[in-house]
Amino acid sequence: MKLNAQDNTDADNSIGRGVEFIEVSADADNQRVDNFLMSRLKGVPKSRIYRLIRKGEVRINKKRTKPESRVQAGDLVRIPPLRMAETAPPVRPSESLIRLLENSVLYEDENLVVINKPQGIAVHVGSGLRTGLIESMRWIINEAGRGAEFLELAHRIDRDTTGCLLIAKNSRILKYLQNEFKAKRVHKTYHALVHGAWPDDVVRVNAPLQKNEIRAGERIVTVNADGKPSVTDFRVLRRFKNATLIEASPLTGRTHQIRVHCQYAGHPIIGDKKYTTASRDHFPTVRILCLHAAAISFTLPDSEAVFSVTAPTNPAMLQLIDSL
């Protein structure tokens, strides 16, 4: 089912590039504003970037900002119109990445792309990365002539998480979806393979989460009474000797929420190098994070119809499940 007709109000052909709204991914969490912009505006002089910030043309969640301020995962960054000559040409993805992403598209119309995000691909270009998923998708869709003057992530999932990812093809749908996420009207279902026997009576974890704590030189998320309210519902799908396949439905959208709530419940996700060392002992050959965004659904704009899509589990996770 298609969404409403495309809205190109943000496309300004006279300058080659209209206003852009970028949602900060978990990979860019806590970056300085100036560094965040420099990583995304390749070829734009630093002096130009600092001038845009100083004049208030760059906004974070609709507010003015400073170069030394830091972006947080989930922030919405407004980038003003820039002439194409001011930016470097997009980096062409490798042939293997092009094929992988093209084969990962679950749904596309004039307003929306839904992709089954592969494991190990960051949703945005970041430190040490030449290109990210959204940059690659812009290149792919433009090359195919399918129109991508505007192509932005409607939400984010972690680099090592696979599954459903919504990409908006115009600002109207982007804003609609962001409002739906904020109002908790988007239903997301994840499948996770966790260590041990998940108790049948643990059907909800309600534990506040605090970002940006430092442990062993690494930024992590922890359960903390001073953190933000965070709730995840759980259901057992299948039991194995040393593991449990569970369904997780986050009612809030905090960074690493499912991963930390599983750890807090005493059953961390297999392959989660950030939040457990148990995988090294019990599953030493596992090289993936066993967390998959299996399904997502929301009500279509100007309609009572529900849009729903499911993503097949990635082969590596399926192979591990079959071996248990």
The DSSP-derived string for 78-130 is EE----GGGSPPPPPPPHHHHHHHHTTEEEE-SSEEEEEEPTT--SS--TT-S
Report how far residue 253's alpha carbon sits from residue 296's, in angstroms, rounded to the nearest whole number.
13
Known catalytic residue at 158: yes
CA distances in angstroms from 296 to 161, 168, 190, listed in the order given? 14, 15, 9
Report how far residue 85's alpha carbon sits from residue 300's, in angstroms, rounded to the nearest whole number.
37
H or E segment and range at residue 247: strand 243-250
Report the candidate in 291, 290, 205 with the shortest Cα–Cα distance to residue 251.
205
**CB-count burial class (<10 Å; 0-12, 13-18, 19+) for 81:** middle
Q: How far apart are the first and last CA of the chain?
A: 38
Pick the catalytic residue: 158, 201, 272, 281? 158
> Are 243 and 277 a contacting pair, CB within 8 Å?
no
Report how far residue 85's alpha carbon sits from residue 216's, in angstroms, rounded to the nearest whole number.
43
Which positions are catalytic? 158
